[in-house]
Structure formats: C-alpha cells, structure tokens
C-alpha cells in the first residue's frame, strides 16, 4: 500500500507552489524579487502621496503668481512715489522710508510663500515622489540606509512605510545572505585555487620524496575543498585581502559617482563609505543617477549601476566582515594575552621559526600530525649508528605499551592486596 502511494505521489510531480518557491528563492529569483519589490513600492508611494502633491503643486503655482503680481505692483508703486507729486509729495528721506517699508513687507511675503508653498521663483513644480526619487526611497528603506531626502507626509503613506519596511528589510537580508554566501565561496575558491596555487605547489615539492612523480601527485588532480595540501575548506582569506577588496570597491564607486553626480573624488568616496556602512547621513544622495532613465538608455544603465552598487556593496561588506570575524577575534585574544590580560594563564608559544620555513624530510609525506613524536621515538630506539626501521619502531612501541600495561596491572593488584590486608584480624560483625 505504501509503495502504491509513493508511486502515485511521484506521478503527480512537484506541486506548482513548490516550483514557484524554488524559483523565487534562487539567486536570480531573489534579485528579481528585490527589484520588483522596490519598483512596486515606488508606485504605491507615488499613488499614496499623489493627492497631497497635487494640492501642493496648485498652492505653489498660485503663490508664484501672487508673488509675481506683488512685484509688478511694487514697480508701479515706486514709480508713483517718484512721479505722482499730487498724491505722494515725498521728500528724499520720506521716499526712502516708504520704499524700505514696502520692500520689507515684500520680503516677509516671499518668505511665507517659500515656507508654505515651496516658492522658488519659477512656475515649475518638482514632485518629491517622482518615480526616480520614490525608487531611491524604497531602496534606502530595504537597505536601512535612509538618506532622508524625502519622506511620506500622509498618514496612509506613513502606515504603508511601516508595513513595507517590515517585509522589505527581511527580504533584503535574505537576498544579502544568499548572495553573500555565494560571494564568500567564490572569493575563498579564487584565493585558494589561484592566489595560493604557487604556495600549494611549493609545499607539495617540499614534502614529497624526491623519487615521487610530481605529475602523478599534481595539485590539479585534487578534489576542490579537500586538497592534500592546504585544503580549500580550511583556508582563511587574510584580513588584508578583505580590506583591499573593500577599498577597491569604494575606489570604483568614487570614480563612478564623480562622473555621474559631479562630486569631487573625496566626496564620492565619503558617500560610498557612508552608504556601504548604512550610516546614511543624508547630506549626499545620488539623485542625478535616477533622472531621465525612462528616455535615455545611458541614464537607465546609470540607475541600474547605482542600485546594484548600493545593494551588492553592503553584501560585500557583510561578507568581508564575516570572513574577518574569526581572525579578528583570534588576534584580539593574542593581543590580550601578550598584554598579560589572559585569565587562563596559558603561555602563547610560537610554532614556526622566524625567517625559516621548515622542510619535511624526503622519507616523510608531511601530513602526519605526530611527526615530531615519531622522530623522538626513532632517536629513542637508535642503536649505535644504525637507525631502526619504521616497522621495528612500531613493534618496539607495542612492546613498550604492553610492558606499561603489565606494570599498571601489577600496581593495581598490589593496591588491592593492601586493602584486603587491612581487614585481616578484624572482627566481622555478627549477622
């Protein structure tokens, strides 16, 4: 019965929802999902803030016309002050006071227009939640950078921002974790198989006996991750390599944003660092990188580069910190012990000799963990000028272990005899 049920399940195939889930949570699927989530969030924010911005646009255009009318009125008023002697028979000081009073009133009126309606002297209105700025806003939410260049003003927009962040941030963390794991494996593989190839070959040549064919023991034949010499699974990428990778990534971003945003190189590097570390002061934001992408193919590529740089950059930083974490902890523990702050009282001993690479003898493979112990036993069983063979060493070791076991048994018997002797002559209790 169980076999029939299993066969029926196999014939049904994989359920459709499992197929969709496996696709969505793959590397490519997560990337597409993040992009679609950012675009969809931008559209929703634009819709929720549209009515408010329509009112704001109408108010701004109305205030702009009022200011223009006020300026025209002042022009005629000043002309009347100077030429209408029947109505304004001002002396020079009275004319000056009247003009200054009108200009101060005009100044207050313009300041109020700027604060209340965003007056800027033009009849154009730049929406805060255009698609470009809204898309940058959604990316800053998911990455927790938060430039602060715009923010929702309506209650609906604020509530949606909370829900959007509660879903978007875990989604971005999942994407960064998946891509970061793949990037870490790729970096470790590249460092081990490419950068450490010469070191691995040198160690193989040092440890293999001279009569062994190097081609047969070629490092290219090893299983990746379980190599005989310096296995990839145990290789740690040095801290300096991780830092160099981060500095190179920041340098690339510095050049790119210098060209796209017009910032100087120092400001571009500062922006890259603030973005990758998710500090996000908000004093600089890549607004120019999102303009005109819907009409200009080059602007579209710049927008894609900016989004990819921010997301992948934070993933890269997280990956490098993860790879450096264990090494940093070890170095800090070493530093504490060197400064005398160790609580266990154990002494740190250097294993390797300064300025010298220890080479394994020709008759050894170099992979024995008890090499020094074996060498000491060979010295122990050395007879005159002839060295005992390996097989004889093992036989002598077994004899020595057997002798030690016999001595230990005798000692145990003697101790037990002493204990039994203690009962001799004692009266046993009556039962």
Segment 386-430, tens digit of pLDDT: 444 555 545 555 555 555 554 555 555 555 555 444 444 444 444
First to last CA, the chain: 67
Mean pLDDT of 174-201: 86
Residue whose tokens read 């109505």? 87
Burial of 147 (0-12, 13-18, 19+ CB in 10 A): buried
H or E segment at 297? helix 297-338
Segment 15-48, tens digit of pLDDT: 777 778 787 778 888 889 999 999 999 999 999 9
Q: For the chain, percent helix, then strand, then coil, each to nearest 5?
A: 70, 0, 30
pLDDT at position 350: 46
Comparison of pLDDT for 153 and 149, the residue scoring more: 153
pTM: 0.67
Residue whose tokens read 């999942």? 174
How far apart are alpha carbons 194 and 225 in whole angstroms?
13
Domain boundaries along the sequence of the chain:
22-176, 364-407
Segment 58-115, tens digit of pLDDT: 999 999 999 999 999 999 998 988 888 778 888 889 889 999 999 999 999 999 999 9
User: Is it the case that residue 308 has pLDDT exceeding 50?
Assistant: yes
pLDDT at position 337: 87
Segment 219-239, tens digit of pLDDT: 666 777 777 777 888 888 999
pLDDT at position 64: 94
User: Is it the case that residue 366 has pLDDT exceeding 60?
Assistant: no
pLDDT at position 351: 47
């Amino acid at each position: 019965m169980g076999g029939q049920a299993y066969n029926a399940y196999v014939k049904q195939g994989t359920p459709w929802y499992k197929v969709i889930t496996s696709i969505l949570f793959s590397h490519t699927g997560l990337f597409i999902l993040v992009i679609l989530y950012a675009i969809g969030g931008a559209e929703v924010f634009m819709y929720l803030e549209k009515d408010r911005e329509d009112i704001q646009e109408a108010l701004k255009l109305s205030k702009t016309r009022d200011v223009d009318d006020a300026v025209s009125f002042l022009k005629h008023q000043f002309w009347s002050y100077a030429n209408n002697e029947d109505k304004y028979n001002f002396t020079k000081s009275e004319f000056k006071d009247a003009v200054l009073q009108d200009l101060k009133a005009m100044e207050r009126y313009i300041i109020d227009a700027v604060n209340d309606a965003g007056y800027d002297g033009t009849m154009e209105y730049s929406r805060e939640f255009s698609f470009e700025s809204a898309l940058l806003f959604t990316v800053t939410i998911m990455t927790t950078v938060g430039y602060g260049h715009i923010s929702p003003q309506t209650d609906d927009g604020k509530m949606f921002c909370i829900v959007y962040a509660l879903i978007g941030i875990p989604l971005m963390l999942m994407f960064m974790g998946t891509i970061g794991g793949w990037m870490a494996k790729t970096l470790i593989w590249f460092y081990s198989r490419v950068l450490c190839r010469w070191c691995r070959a040198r160690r193989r040549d040092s440890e293999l006996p001279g009569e062994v064919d190097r081609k047969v023991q070629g490092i290219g034949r090893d299983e990746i991750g379980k190599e005989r010499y310096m296995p990839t699974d145990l290789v740690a990428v040095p801290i300096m390599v991780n830092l160099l990778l981060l500095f190179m990534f920041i340098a690339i971003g510095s050049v790119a944003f210098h060209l796209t945003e017009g910032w100087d190189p120092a400001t571009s590097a500062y922006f890259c660092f603030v973005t990758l570390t998710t500090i996000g002061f908000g004093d600089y934001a890549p607004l120019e990188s999102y303009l005109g992408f819907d009409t200009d193919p080059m602007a579209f590529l710049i927008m894609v580069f900016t989004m990819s740089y921010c997301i992948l950059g934070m993933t890269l930083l997280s990956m490098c910190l993860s790879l450096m974490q264990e090494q940093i902890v070890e170095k800090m523990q070493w530093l504490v012990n060197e400064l005398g702050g160790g609580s266990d009282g154990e002494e740190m001993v250097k294993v390797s000799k300064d300025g010298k690479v220890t080479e394994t003898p020709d008759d050894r493979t170099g992979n024995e963990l008890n090499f020094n112990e074996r060498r000491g036993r060979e010295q122990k069983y050395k007879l005159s000028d002839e060295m005992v063979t390996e097989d004889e060493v093992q036989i002598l070791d077994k004899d020595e272990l057997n002798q030690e076991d016999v001595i230990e048994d005798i000692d145990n018997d003697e101790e037990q005899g002493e204990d039994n002797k203690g009962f001799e002559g004692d009266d046993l209790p009556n039962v």
